[in-house]
């Protein structure tokens, strides 16, 4: 199918075995969700395979790109957790030649979500959270919700991720708050 084998190989080269296993779990989950909710399974596969492509890049590389390519300089106050998707999408585009804007946006939003999310964005955001390799309190409930109502799964993930970050006194990226306000508090 398309250039899946080639893409898999390029992705695998850039990460640990453990992370690659996670990526394959996200792909399997994203394809299943795409089938269930009527999104493109091919786009789900490509976005899932590449969502963490940049996760093991050094901070200096992200900082250089943020300084050079017109990103909001406030991004420099965050770290790999926020950079690897949002900025990593530009590496996926340049290095893997993926120019599909729907796929690139799903990669950009996969960690923080956003008030505005396409079906593909939601699928990747949720698949990343519930793939078979994930094991944390609440993952079972998240998996059940994903089979019933994708928006409910987005809300559940958002709320629990934010709770976890606050518990650990981590800096909250504004987009994460935006996602919480929209999907958890209300869409009004």
**Given 52, 54, 62, 117, the residue binding ligand DGI (CB under 6 A):** 52
Partner interacting with residue 172 (select from Fe ion, ligand DGI, none; CB below 5-8 Å by kind): ligand DGI
**Do residues 105 and 121 lie in contact, with contact meaning Cβ atoms separated by under 8 Å?**
yes
Token readout for 21 is 């296993």
**Interacting residues of 124 by C-beta distance below 8 A, sequence separation 6+:** 26, 30, 44, 47, 48, 51, 106, 107, 109, 110
The reply on whether position 76 binds ligand DGI by CB under 6 A is no
**Given 111, 124, 126, 145, the residue binding ligand DGI (CB under 6 A):** 111
The reply on whether position 105 binds Fe ion by CB under 5 A is no
- Measured in degrees and rounded to the nearest 5, phi and psi for residue 113 equal 65, -160
Contact map string, positions 7 to 26, toward ligand DGI, x by CB under 6 A: ---------------x----
Binding site for Fe ion (CB under 5 A): 52, 128
């Amino acid at each position: 199918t398309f250039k899946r084998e080639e893409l898999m190989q390029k992705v695998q080269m850039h990460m640990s075995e453990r992370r690659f296993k996670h990526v394959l779990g996200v792909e399997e989950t994203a394809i299943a969700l795409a089938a269930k909710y009527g999104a493109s399974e091919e786009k789900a596969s490509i976005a899932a395979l590449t969502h963490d492509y940049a996760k093991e890049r050094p901070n200096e590389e992200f900082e250089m790109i943020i300084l050079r390519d017109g990103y909001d300089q406030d991004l420099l106050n965050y770290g790999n957790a926020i950079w690897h998707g949002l900025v990593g999408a530009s590496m996926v585009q340049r290095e893997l030649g993926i120019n599909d804007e729907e796929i690139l946006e799903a990669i950009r939003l996969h960690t923080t979500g956003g008030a505005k999310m396409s079906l593909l964005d939601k699928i990747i955001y949720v698949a990343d959270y519930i793939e078979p390799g994930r094991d944390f309190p609440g993952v079972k409930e998240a998996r059940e919700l994903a089979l019933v109502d994708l928006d409910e799964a987005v809300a559940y993930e958002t709320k629990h991720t934010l709770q976890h970050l606050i518990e650990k006194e981590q800096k909250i990226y504004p987009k994460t708050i935006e996602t919480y306000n929209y999907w958890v508090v209300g869409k009004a």
